Structure 1
Amino acid sequence: MHGRERTPRRVSGGRRLSALLVGTALAASLIGVGSIASAADPAANSATSATGTVSAHSAHAGHAAHAGRAAAAVATPDDPDGDGYIPAPSPVTGVPPSHRTPPPRYFHEFQANCSVSHTAPDDPIVYPGRPGASHDHTFMGNTSTNGDSVTGTLYGGATRCKAPGDSSAYWMPSLFRGQQKILPVGDQVIYYKSGVTDYTSVRPFPRGLRFVVGSPTQSAQQFRDHPGWVEGWECGDSYRNTAFPAQCPGGTQLNIRMQAPSCWDGRYLDTPDHQSHMAYPVVKPGGNDDVCPASHPVALPMVEFKMAFPVDGDMSQVRLASGAAHSFHYDFFNAWQEPVLKRLVEHCVVGGLQCDARGYDETHPEAGVALTADYRLP
């Protein structure tokens, strides 16, 4: 069982109120971002194995983030005209933000425990159909994720998540100490929780929804002020760091937590900046309740990465493939089997429970479980 961890509450209301300003700045910087593969040194940008090393600085060689300039349009099966807008096949309209206050429950979440599958200089969201165009990423969940991945290739695929029904793709910039790539070991914790006060209004993600949280080109201040910030970089007794701690006690790990926006516009599975179709909850006027803004009224699960990297001691040589510590960001591409995700959302999030990857809350055994012992639907 995952334990009764008192997870940090959602981002504060004051920071959610500034989310639109922060999101606008980050969205502008995200258009066309990423590390463009160096034509002069293709070998330095080739995919590496999950345990391999790379030559010095090759993981972010040729980093050229052109803020405000979109990458060349590439047609894909998900986006035939290559304009970056992917309409939802079944748009959700006429759903106002919920201002209801249900019975208070401290927890309304479940975990997706997923391990690292591979690494590669690919990003099928920012650089769809362009393998090798990105800085190096560490992929979790779906084992097939690459630069050509689309909804059809991910859905139903093999996964490194405990629940076979979760073939979603999760990725983040790879972490290095000098030339050595440092990969998270074992199952990582990816929370699916309510970001709004009315946790009973949360519904499952639509198939094919994708987005980017944060930006590799964000400044240190933007990283700290990001509405998805939870505790920054931490190890031992050092918390809320924008930069990597100078020293991590022996036997500890480097951790980071970051929350995704959980309010959807109901219309698009993706937009050109990979963020505008999503928004963070805001504080209801005249109160403390968290609600989705009218522009993005559909409440979805709030994804929260909680990553642990096995690195300690002197941290002076630690870096991300995307650059400095404040360049941390991550990507999510939904490929859950709908009945499995629906069961977990309804049982754990809407049900006000703190569930493990099976949908079991050890403090509420009377509620039962969502999935069987092998993490499948009953």
Structure 2
Amino acid sequence: MLKMNWKLHFLTASVAHAALRFGCSTVSVQRLDPLVEPGANPSSHVHQIVGGNAFAPTMKGDIGEQANCTTCVYTEDFSNYWTAVMYFRHENGSYKRVPQYPNAQLGHNDTNIKGGMTIYYTEKDFSSDGDQYITGFAPGFRMTVGSPTVNNKTNGTNPGLAYTCLQSILTRGSETPDFPKKPCPAGIMAIHHFPACWDGKNLDSPDHQSHMFSTTRGHFLEAGPCPASHPVRVPQVAYETMWNTTAFADMWPSDGSQPFVWSFMGNGYGTHADYLFGWKGDSLQRAINDTCMFHGCGSPGVQGVLKTQTVEEMNKCEARTAVEEDVDGWLDELPGMNMGGVV
């Protein structure tokens, strides 16, 4: 088990005021999962991945030292962020991958971002400064949130995992725990909030979750106080993925049933996400210790504590494709479904 002395790391932190929100274009779409299924090539279902190009079937050590480019706007962030892929299931039984589009709230030259996600690191909320120490993650840190085995409300509803039926590209709020039941005019936004309380010892755990404790309230509210078992407050990491479902509005099933599924053949309750820390050196801690908010931390054309790159440079970065298979066309079955089981 990977461990570290959080007390020594904690001493380097200061009272945090920063909040990061930035776009990352797609680095790969394929069946790999180095956290839950390390070494498996292919893994059980398709993932959409952003971040550093070191993404591979097995990932160990300091990822920030292994990648040589990133699809994120911040050039020092070689982390990998990934979720399952959303598919449309046609009445005839075939499947089509739902495309992604960039978040209009990024506010810079983002219209040409290649798919991807919006990534958040917050310490309190979007409108006020924090008053507690926030400890940045260390090399080797990783975690997951959610589980593909959850398939209904009785399995437990996580307030940090939700969907928004987009009435426009700027819609926020009105979150639901399952996929929207009706066609959404501007698509579906999937939201993943990770726990922000760490045990201060383990960089990972067998289930990739026990070293963390969730006091998440969702809706980008400040997480609740950390318990004694997990006393170290870390940044609140969150993903937003904008899925462009508009092309399927006229294909909605005649019986009115909800036609979207995740790539593991699961419904909305099974949504989950993976995080593998890979910021270069102390770059994340420097940003957390700063007083910047969003673009004030650095964006193309704006000087900040973090270095940035252009959308064109983001889009050029790609991870090696380890699994050669069709994940985009109209498919008779979801990739990996003939393997059986859900991971």
Give TM-score scaled by structure 1 length.
Answer: 0.62
1:146 Cα shift? Answer: 2.3
TM-align CA RMSD: 3.3
Paired letter, 1:290: G
| SS of equivalent residue, structure 1 residue 291 | coil
Between the aligned partners of 1:282 and 1:335, the Cα distance in structure 2 is 23
Q: 1:115 to 1:94 in 2, by over 3 A?
A: closer
Q: 1:126 to 1:289 in 2, by over 3 A?
A: closer
Deviation digits for residues 91-113 of structure 1, max 9, x if unmatched?
214999xxxxx8xx9x8411232
Preserved CA contact (<8 Å) 1:235 1:253: yes
Hey, what does 2:313 align to over in structure 1? none
1:289 Cα shift? Answer: 8.8
* 1:334-345 alignment runs, 5 A limit: 334-345=277-288
Hey, what does 2:32 align to over in structure 1? 122
1:225 Cα shift? Answer: 2.5
* 1:54-69 alignment runs, 5 A limit: none
Paired letter, 2:235: P
Q: 1:344 to 1:133 in 2, by over 3 A?
A: same
Hey, what does 1:371 align to over in structure 2? 306
Paired letter, 2:6: V
Where structure 1 has 5 or more consecutive residues not aligned to the other structure, the ranges are 1-85, 97-101
| SS of equivalent residue, structure 2 residue 190 | strand
The structure 2 residue matched to 1:174, chosen from 85, 104, 117, is 85
The structure 1 residue matched to 2:267, chosen from 302, 320, 324, is 324
Between the aligned partners of 1:132 and 1:271, the Cα distance in structure 2 is 23
Where structure 2 has 5 or more consecutive residues not aligned to the other structure, the ranges are 90-94, 102-112, 253-257, 311-343
Paired letter, 1:304: A
Between the aligned partners of 1:275 and 1:150, the Cα distance in structure 2 is 18
Preserved CA contact (<8 Å) 1:113 1:189: yes
| SS of equivalent residue, structure 2 residue 261 | strand
Hey, what does 2:337 align to over in structure 1? none
Deviation digits for residues 169-226 of structure 1, max 9, x if unmatched?
1110111113221232335211101159955311211111101111111133267721
Q: 1:151 to 1:180 in 2, by over 3 A?
A: farther
Give TM-score scaled by structure 2 length.
Answer: 0.68
Q: Percent same amino acid among aligned pairs?
A: 24
Hey, what does 1:87 align to over in structure 2? 2
* 1:28-177 alignment runs, 5 A limit: 86-88=1-3, 90-93=4-7, 108-152=18-62, 155-157=65-67, 158-177=69-88
Preserved CA contact (<8 Å) 1:108 1:194: yes
Q: 1:278 to 1:249 in 2, by over 3 A?
A: closer
Hey, what does 1:44 align to over in structure 2? none
2:172 equivalent to 1:270: no
Between the aligned partners of 2:298 and 2:132, the Cα distance in structure 1 is 16
Paired letter, 2:34: P
Between the aligned partners of 2:25 and 2:131, the Cα distance in structure 1 is 28
The structure 2 residue matched to 1:244, chosen from 176, 179, 200, is 179
1:233 Cα shift? Answer: 3.9
Paired letter, 1:173: A
Hey, what does 2:136 align to over in structure 1? 204
Preserved CA contact (<8 Å) 1:111 1:190: yes
How many equivalent pairs are there?
A: 267
Deviation digits for residues 328-363 of structure 1, max 9, x if unmatched?
11000001112221221111xxx3x43138447xxx
Q: 1:139 to 1:194 in 2, by over 3 A?
A: same
Paired letter, 1:319: V
Between the aligned partners of 1:308 and 1:160, the Cα distance in structure 2 is 17
1:144 Cα shift? Answer: 3.2
Preserved CA contact (<8 Å) 1:120 1:146: no
Greater relative contact order (Cα < 8 A, sep 6+): 2
